[in-house]
């Protein structure tokens, strides 16, 4: 490579500057080219968007009013040099117009740009007031762009050659003028290199350049400086003694111990910090084995003869026994000492007192352990919490199945725990939970784990336990918990539990399968009368699992928005005008809709009804106009969840509910205690502008109690009394009595399941106010925009 370098400095400078200029000019030319091509690409895109912005409205107009004129209009556009083709399609994808002409390939230079397209197309949607009409696509020609790029390449090449030529001429003249005055300076440098210091006193020529004069002056100043430095060295020797004294003072005032130990492990130097930290006098500690001051034999071994070279060099912690017997922990940082021949002489170390640091670290470790304990345990009962239980279940299940062992899951549910809390107060409920948790821990199987997985639910994991053993263990736990007695101010309280058991791999090999199987067993134990143990069998499990599978379908339908509101009108029986609409719930399954009676009981059993009620009400309030009076259904089971009341209040006070007539309709599928909070909630509903309706009156639980305490605005007569009204005189009497009861409490009556005109006449004669049924209309999907204007009768 060196033989290609110019011999003289003059030529080397010429070569280097020329090469640099070549690169700079080339980059400048390339920049101009890229800038211009980028601008042309941008201009082409802008032109395309302007063309299609003008053309699309005109073509939309021609499609609607003069389809034959499209060919003439667009054909004239193809005469434009910038257009390569035009395609028009209608909304169904059919081609209405398509013509193209030859367009050259995109110039390679344009391919450098990501925005460049080989066949640039601009599309726009054709619209009208009635909706979309289709799509128009204009393909731009590459020919104008390619021609401009060719012109740019020629212009840039000429500019490059012109600039390069001018730069080379200027460089040649500049280098000559710079190098000429350096010759006298080179001669002066040779004299100095030969040790002729007197020559440095000479001055440079008067006609030399400023740079040469400055360089000559620098040589002369350097010689003077070197002479001065020789003089300064003599003075430096005197300062060394002074610096040594300062260093000694610094060592003596150090907070850390400065220790020197020879190769035999004997102390050869200590600073005063040693006596302050340990109580040993510095003078009496010298020439003693350093190991005598240490408390641990493993640390002493490092200071034995022949082993000192292997001592850790940094952050080595030592326990030093102070003169008063206390332990002083020190951190040692060491440097090994060798002579000029490499022979080991000993070590020099600093010892820092870290006793307080270690104490604080121990406190921190204890705090971290306590914090970790809090994150994995339930603070009330001290057993594992739900999050840690999920992790344990996954790990233990994988470990036991990998070893070919079984794993039993026992779920313990406290029967009537809500009654205990409501009746005796939360302190008693907390004491019940703590006592049950302690009893479960006392009965732990080897390797088992206990966790509180819900408010009144506990779970046990039993490794290497089969079905028979798990069932026996479950009954043992049940008997143990049944013997628990909680003393009360008056009397005492006993505990009853329902227990569900499942075993892997018999009932599942995945955590969710095992939990589901145990939940099924617990579900069956509760359905069978509570206060019992149930181990899932294959025969019964399959049937109950079907219920849970349906529950999963309902849960997934809620999450996917497949629970839909349907509308059925409520009609004034005298005027035959629509008074209101009842919001009914349907679940989409494929192309069909499942009626509420097929999935509402499952949702109630599995605790999904609250989410479903809120979801359907929200959908109805969002989709239905505000001037429509709505009857919305809420299951009383939803109120078992304390947060439901707050969520319902928030929904009824939201903007989508404000200013519209709403009636809350309750379906009694289970008995519900008419507590003070329950009655208060109804008062708040009325205060917010809503009415209350009792559904299925006459067939539910405690309907007369509800009627007396709630005093609803509407009473809905169950359809079972309306269907046989013409044939069954007893049903006539029942309907008349319900109407009279409604009149007593000031409520309007609504008859359900009306199917013919004769039934309407009888209901009007009995004084029933409103009715609904297939005779007027079947339930209609809210998405059907025609339901609101439907002609009902």
Output the DSSP codes for 269-332. EE-THHHHHH---HHHHTTSBGGGGBS-HHHHGGGSTTTGGGS--SSEEEEEE-TTS-EEEEEE
Per 3-state DSSP, what percentage of the chain is helix, strand, and coil (rounded to 5)?
50, 20, 30
Among candidates 518, 511, 650, 634, which has minimal Cα distance to 582? 634
Q: What is the mean pLDDT of residues 495-520?
A: 90
pLDDT tens sequence across 317-360:
899 999 888 889 999 999 899 988 889 989 999 898 888 888 88
For position 792, what pLDDT does the model report? 42
The three-class DSSP label of residue 232 is helix
Q: Tokens for 594?
A: 């499942």
Sign of the dihedral defined by the CA atoms of residues 483, 488, 492, 494, in that order: negative
Share above pLDDT 70 across residues of the chain, in percent, rounded to a whole number: 82
Q: Are 598 and 628 in contact (CB under 8 A)?
A: no
Does residue 671 surpass a pLDDT of 50?
A: no
pLDDT value at position 208? 59
Pairwise CA distance, residues 763 & 732, whole Å? 9
Q: How confident is the model at residue 507 (pLDDT cuts 50, 70, 90)?
A: confident
Q: What is the predicted pLDDT for the residue at 577?
A: 94
Query: What sign for the dihedral angle of Cα 9, 13, 19, 22?
Result: negative
pLDDT of amino acid 606: 65
β-pairing verdict for 344-353 and 780-781: unpaired
- Beta bridge mates, 589: 592
CB neighbour burial string for 709-740, b if at least 16 within 10 angstroms, e if fewer: ebebbbbbbbbebbbebeeeeebbebbeebbe
In three-state secondary structure terms, 587 is: strand
Query: CB within 8 A of 149, min separation 6: which ones?
Result: 37, 40, 107, 109, 110
> Which one has a higher pLDDT value, 510 or 635?
510
pLDDT at site 477: 93
**How far apart are the C-alpha atoms of 320 and 296, rounded to whole Å?**
8
What is the mean pLDDT of the segment spanning 516-524? 85
Residue 81 has what DSSP assignment?
T
Q: What average pLDDT is seen over the chain?
A: 81
Tokens of 354: 């870290």
- Write the Ramachandran bin of 786: left for phi over 0, alpha for psi from -120 to 50, otherwise beta: alpha
Note the pLDDT tens digit of each residue in 686-744: 887 889 998 888 775 545 666 777 788 999 998 989 998 998 899 999 999 999 999 98
Give the mean pLDDT of 229-250.
69
User: What distance in Å separates the CA atoms of residue 503 and residue 538, rounded to the nearest whole number?
Assistant: 11
Tens of pLDDT, residues 151-174: 877 877 777 778 777 777 777 776
The β-bridge partners of 492 are 487
More confident residue, 48 or 201: 48
Q: What is the pLDDT of residue 790?
A: 47
Of 438, 521, 540, the residue nearest 484 (C-alpha): 438
Contacts of 316 (CB under 8 A, 6+ apart): 331, 332, 333, 334
452 beta partners: 458
DSSP for 121-142, written as a single string: EEEEEEEETTEEEEEEEEEEPS
């Amino acid at each position: 490579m060196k033989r290609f370098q110019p011999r003289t400095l003059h030529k080397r400078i010429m070569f280097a500057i020329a090469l640099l200029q070549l690169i700079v000019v080339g980059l400048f030319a390339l920049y101009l080219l890229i800038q211009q091509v980028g601008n042309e690409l941008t201009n082409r895109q802008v032109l395309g968007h302007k063309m299609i912005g003008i053309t699309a409205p005109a073509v939309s107009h021609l499609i609607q009013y003069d389809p034959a004129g499209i060919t003439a209009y667009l054909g004239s556009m193809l005469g434009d040099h910038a257009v390569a083709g035009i395609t028009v399609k209608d909304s169904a994808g059919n081609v209405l117009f398509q013509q193209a002409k030859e367009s050259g390939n995109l110039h390679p230079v344009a391919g450098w740009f990501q925005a460049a397209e080989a066949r640039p197309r601009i599309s726009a949607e054709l619209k009208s007031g009635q909706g979309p009409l289709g799509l128009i696509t204009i393909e731009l020609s590459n020919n104008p762009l390619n021609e401009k790029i060719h012109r740019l390449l020629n212009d840039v090449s000429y500019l490059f050659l012109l600039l390069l030529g001018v730069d080379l001429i200027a460089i040649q003249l500049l280098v000559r003028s710079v190098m000429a005055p350096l010759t006298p300076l080179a001669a002066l440098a040779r004299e100095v290199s030969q040790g002729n210091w007197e020559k440095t006193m000479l001055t440079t020529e008067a006609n030399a350049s400023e740079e040469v004069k400055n360089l000559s002056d620098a040589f002369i100043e350097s010689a003077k400086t070197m002479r001065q430095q020789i003089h300064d060295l003599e003075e430096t020797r005197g300062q060394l003694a002074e610096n040594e004294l300062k260093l000694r003072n610094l060592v003596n005032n150090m907070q850390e111990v400065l220790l020197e130990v020879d190769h035999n492990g004997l102390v050869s130097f200590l600073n005063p910090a040693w006596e302050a930290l340990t109580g040993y006098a510095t003078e009496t500690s010298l020439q003693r084995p350093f190991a005598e001051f240490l408390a641990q034999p493993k640390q002493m071994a490092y200071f034995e003869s022949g082993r000192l070279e292997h001592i850790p060099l940094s952050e080595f912690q030592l326990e030093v026994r102070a003169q008063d017997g206390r332990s002083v922990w020190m951190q040692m940082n060491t440097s090994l000492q060798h002579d000029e021949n490499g022979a080991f002489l000993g070590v020099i170390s600093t010892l820092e007192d870290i006793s307080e640091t270690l104490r604080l670290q121990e406190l921190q470790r204890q705090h971290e352990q306590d914090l970790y304990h809090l994150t994995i345990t339930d603070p009330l009962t001290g057993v594992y919490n739900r999050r840690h239980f999920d992790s344990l279940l996954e790990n233990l299940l994988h470990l036991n199945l990998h070893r070919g062992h079984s794993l039993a899951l026992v779920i313990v549910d406290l029967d009537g725990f809500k009654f205990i809390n409501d009746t005796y107060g939360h302190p008693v409920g907390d004491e019940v939970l703590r006592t049950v948790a302690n009893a479960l821990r006392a009965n732990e199987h080897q390797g088992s784990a206990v966790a509180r997985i819900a408010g009144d639910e506990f779970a046990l994991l039993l490794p290497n336990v089969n079905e028979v053993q798990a069932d026996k263990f479950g009954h043992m736990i049940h008997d143990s918990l049944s013997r628990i007695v909680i003393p009360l101010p008056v009397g005492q309280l006993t505990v009853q539990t329902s227990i569900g058991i499942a075993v892997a791999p018999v009932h599942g090999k995945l955590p969710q399968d095992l939990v589901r199987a145990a939940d099924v067993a617990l579900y069956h134990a509760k359905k069978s009368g509570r206060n019992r143990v149930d181990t899932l069998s294959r025969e019964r499990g399959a049937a109950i699992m079907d219920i849970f599978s349906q529950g999963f379908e309902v849960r997934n339908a809620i999450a996917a928005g497949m629970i839909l509101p349907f509308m059925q009108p409520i009609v004034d029986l005298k005027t035959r005008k629509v008074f209101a609409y009842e919001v009914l719930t349907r679940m989409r399954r494929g192309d069909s809709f499942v009626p509420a009676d097929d999935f509402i009981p499952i949702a109630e059993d599995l605790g999904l009804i609250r989410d479903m009620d809120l979801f359907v009400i929200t959908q109805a309030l969002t989709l239905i106009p505000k001037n429509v009076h709505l009857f919305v259904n809420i299951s009383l089971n939803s109120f078992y969840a304390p947060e439901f009341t707050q969520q319902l209040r928030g929904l009824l006070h939201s903007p989508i509910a404000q200013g519209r007539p709403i009636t809350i309709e309750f379906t009694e599928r289970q008995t519900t205690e008419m507590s003070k909070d329950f009655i208060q909630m109804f008062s708040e509903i009325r205060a917010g502008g809503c009415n209350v309706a009792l559904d299925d009156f006459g067939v539910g639980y405690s309907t007369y109690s509800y009627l007396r305490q709630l005093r609803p605005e509407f009473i809905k007569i169950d359809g079972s009394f309306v269907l046989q009204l013409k044939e069954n005189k007893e049903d006539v009497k029942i309907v008349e009595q319900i109407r009279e009861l409604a009149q007593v409490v000031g409520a309007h009556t609504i008859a359900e399941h009306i199917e013919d005109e004769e039934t309407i006449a009888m209901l009007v004669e009995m004084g029933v106010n409103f009715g609904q049924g297939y005779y007027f209309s079947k339930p209609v999907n809210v998405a059907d925009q025609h339901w609101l204007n439907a002609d009902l009768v």
